[in-house]
């Protein structure tokens, strides 16, 4: 199939490009100008690269037509900062997506696959693990806009027949994750620990999250290409929780030495636990994670070391 990845030069997008190519699909990548592109992908002649602004209708109209499937990975905000300016969150993410959907429905696009946020859309859990039918009461604007986009995808399907699939991702980690970013605890913590730097943790380290190795997550994205039917929303995670303290312990075990940690006051928007129920994806997408957290952590460290040795 002819696949367009919006945000394809980033952490998830670059791995998705590799996953789609491995299955024989054609890949077109669209992302912001002046990004440092993954060298291993930049040299691949099978990838069609395009630069532009997600909020520019002309740029979208240039890359969307001719695509069978559009993978929408773009987000202009982060969970921790989205509450600072909710209006900007809506203007960049929701309005930008609406322009995309208008172009897609008139350009012959068969399906939109959207990367939503399993870590923020549910809010405080009533039950664990959290299934797709759980109530959605996000504590951050980031989660609210993700939900709004999910609702507009459904609306455009009802009104215009534009098919879609939504993956509510847990916390992906792995090779090429940005260590200087404001999210991505695994890569950030691992990089700081490896360099002997102090790790900052908000709260007492008891916050539990669901971490999914990137290549496992990508297999779920690829699975959506052959899936047809209801439902269209899937949790994609490991199905297991890991506290920040347990994450630190795993890093110490991998490095073979203790690491320095500084505990700060907790943040109001950090829910105490988030673990996703992946039963639906296992039964309907024929997908489940296969990489143990400890193995994924080792792969991530090897990639960090390799990148800095070049």
Residues near 194 by beta carbon (within 8 Å), at least 6 away in sequence:
255, 301, 304, 305
Residues pairing with 115 in the sheet: 167
Active-site residue, 142 included: yes
Of 235, 207, 267, whose CA–CA distance to 82 is shortest?
A: 267
Residues near 141 by beta carbon (within 8 Å), at least 6 away in sequence:
77, 82, 83, 86, 89, 90
Is residue 39 within a helix (H) or strand (E), and if so which, with residue range? helix 39-42
Residue whose structure tokens are 């980690």 = 173
User: Are 220 and 282 spatial neighbours (Cβ–Cβ below 8 Å)?
Assistant: no
Residues near 150 by beta carbon (within 8 Å), at least 6 away in sequence:
114, 116, 121, 166, 233
Considering the candidates 142, 156, 164, 213, report the single residue annotated as catalytic: 142
72 to 13, 86, 133, 162: CA distances (angstroms): 9, 20, 23, 14
267 to 87, 144, 159, 222, 263: CA distances (angstroms): 21, 18, 40, 35, 12
Of 46, 39, 44, 37, whose CA–CA distance to 8 is shortest?
A: 37
Residues pairing with 3 in the sheet: 27, 69
Task: Report, as residue numbers or ranges, the catalytic residues.
Answer: 142
């Amino acid at each position: 199939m002819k696949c367009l990845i919006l945000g394809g030069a980033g952490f998830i997008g670059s791995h998705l490009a590799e996953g789609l190519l491995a299955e024989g699909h054609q890949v077109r990548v669209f992302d912001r100008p002046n990004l440092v592109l993954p060298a291993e992908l930049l040299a691949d002649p099978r990838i069609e690269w395009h630069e532009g602004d997600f909020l520019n209708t002309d740029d979208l109209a240039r890359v969307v037509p001719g695509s069978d499937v559009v993978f929408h990975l773009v987000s202009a905000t982060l969970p921790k900062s989205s509450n600072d300016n909710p209006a900007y969150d809506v203007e960049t993410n929701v309005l930008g997506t609406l322009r995309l959907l208008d172009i897609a429905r008139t350009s012959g696009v068969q399906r939109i696959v959207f990367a939503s946020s399993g870590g923020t859309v549910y809010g405080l859990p009533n039950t664990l693990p959290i299934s797709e039918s759980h109530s959605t009461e996000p504590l951050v604007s980031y989660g609210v806009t993700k939900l709004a986009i999910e609702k507009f995808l459904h609306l455009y399907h009802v009104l215009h027949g534009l098919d879609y699939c939504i993956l509510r991702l847990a916390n992906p980690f792995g090779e090429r994750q940005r260590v200087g970013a404001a999210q991505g605890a695994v890569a950030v913590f691992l990089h700081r620990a490896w360099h002997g730097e102090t790790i900052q943790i908000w709260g007492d380290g008891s916050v539990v999250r669901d971490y999914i190795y990137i290549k496992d997550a990508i297999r779920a994205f690829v699975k959506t290409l052959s899936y047809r039917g209801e439902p269209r929303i899937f949790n994609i995670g490991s199905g297991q929780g890991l506290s920040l303290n347990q994450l630190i312990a795993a890093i110490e075990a991998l490095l073979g030495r203790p690491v320095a940690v500084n505990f700060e006051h907790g943040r109001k928007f950090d829910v105490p636990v988030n673990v996703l129920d992946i039963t639906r994806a296992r039964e309907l997408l024929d997908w489940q994670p296969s990489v143990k957290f400890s193995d994924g952590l080792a792969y991530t460290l090897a990639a960090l070391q390799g990148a800095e040795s070049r």
